[in-house]
Amino acid sequence: MRNRSFYAQTDFPRADVALSDSLCDFTRSAVKKLFDGGLVKVNGKIAKPSQSVCTGDFIEAALPDPVECVAKPEDIPVDILYEDGDLAVINKPQGLTVHAGNGNIDGTLVNALLYRLNNLSGVGGVIRPGIVHRIDKNTSGLLVVAKNDAAHLSLAEQIADKSCRRTYIALLEGNLKEDNGTVTTYIGRSRTDRIKMAVVEPDKGKIAITDYSVLSRAVFAGQSYTLCRFDLHTGRTHQIRVHAKYLNHPVVGDDVYGRKKREFGLNGQLLHAYRLEFTHPNSGERLTFTAPLPGYFSAVLKKLGFGFNLF
């Protein structure tokens, strides 16, 4: 066991919410297990998850020692658009998790890459070899993976200094009236639901900047929809989905930040990493890749009557 202790910086309605706010790497179920095992104390007394916490309360938690997990190769189909000795560009399908997490160590893109590629960088550790950046499980599209550490560091630096350009296409609920704009907020873990991210105060999160521009609009069965392009300046978890909600136009099919009932028989949000541009770490050549919208995405646009040809 290892101990984690801290003083509450603000009031919390529940002790489990206070602990989740501090233990960002713990799931709700993991936090619940800590309370169930009597491993959490508030001001020296074993705490109940439902009790309130006041500013200045001393919270202690006895955490289980981490268990090292090594990703293993799996024969999972993966669409490799480009590959050389330094990197590979992948068109990830909706429904495929990028790397292990939350107890899920199998069936990920990393498992597929370990099977398909000869080498992957070690900067990300044994769980995330080669992974320079990620996209959500139910988001489709492009990401670049590194095959050696030098390439990994170069690509990561390009993402940090914004010279790596990432463009997404999304279908939004409602009519987004502004044709274009920039959303600048701070994004952090939601205080009420650890699965979610949220727009928070500056001291509670990290800055997130997203450009958007409307591609087309449509009305179907009395409902308005907006096809939108998003360009990332930063890469926060769920950034586009959170910013779409912040604009009051969540991504269609997003049952975390949008409607709980998915439309059009979708299995996830209509959000696609469409374009990726970066400088090759070795040759210095500027590379640009695009990935067409998945069939289910195009089918919805056709149903809605969008007369827009993305290509």
Could you tell me if 169 and 265 lie in one domain? yes
Q: Give me the number of domains the chain comprises.
A: 3
Mean residue pLDDT of the chain comes to: 91
Could you tell me if 87 and 150 lie in one domain? yes
Q: Is residue 52 part of a domain?
A: yes
Indicate the pLDDT class of residue 25, thresholds 50, 70 and 90.
Answer: low
Residues sharing a CB contact under 8 Å with residue 280, sequence separation 6 or more, in sequence order: 86, 87, 286, 287
User: CA 243, CA 219: separation in Å to the nearest integer?
Assistant: 22
Which residue, of 35, 63, 91, is where some domain finishes?
A: 63
What confidence score (pLDDT) does residue 29 get? 77
User: CA 18, CA 207: separation in Å to the nearest integer?
Assistant: 22
Our CA dihedral for 42, 47, 48, 52, rounded to 10 degrees, sits at -10
Residue 308 confidence (pLDDT) above 70? no
Q: pTM above the 0.75 mark?
A: yes
Q: Is residue 133 part of a domain?
A: yes
Could you tell me the end-to-end alpha-carbon distance of the chain, in angstroms, rounded to an integer? 55
User: CA 40, CA 53: separation in Å to the nearest integer?
Assistant: 13
Q: What is the CATH number of the domain that holds 28?
A: 3.10.290.10
Residue 67 confidence (pLDDT) above 60? no
Could you tell me if 256 and 169 lie in one domain? yes
Could you tell me if 55 and 98 lie in one domain? no
Residue 15 confidence (pLDDT) above 70? yes
Which residue, of 132, 160, 188, is where some domain finishes?
A: 160
Which residue, of 100, 126, 160, is where some domain finishes?
A: 160
What confidence score (pLDDT) does residue 9 get? 86
Question: Is residue 203 flagged as an active site residue?
Answer: no
Q: What is the CATH number of the domain that holds 146?
A: 3.30.2350.10
Q: Is residue 226 part of a domain?
A: yes
Q: Which of 21, 86, 136, 254 is catalytic?
A: 136
What confidence score (pLDDT) does residue 204 get? 87
Could you tell me if 213 and 124 lie in one domain? no
Could you tell me if 210 and 130 lie in one domain? no
User: CA 37, CA 29: separation in Å to the nearest integer?
Assistant: 12
Residues β-bridged to residue 277:
165, 288
Lowest mean pLDDT of 28-37, 95-104, 186-195, 214-223, name the range. 95-104
**145 lies in which domain range?**
79-160
Residues sharing a CB contact under 8 Å with residue 256, sequence separation 6 or more, in sequence order: 195, 196, 238, 241
In the chain, the amino acid numbered 220 is F
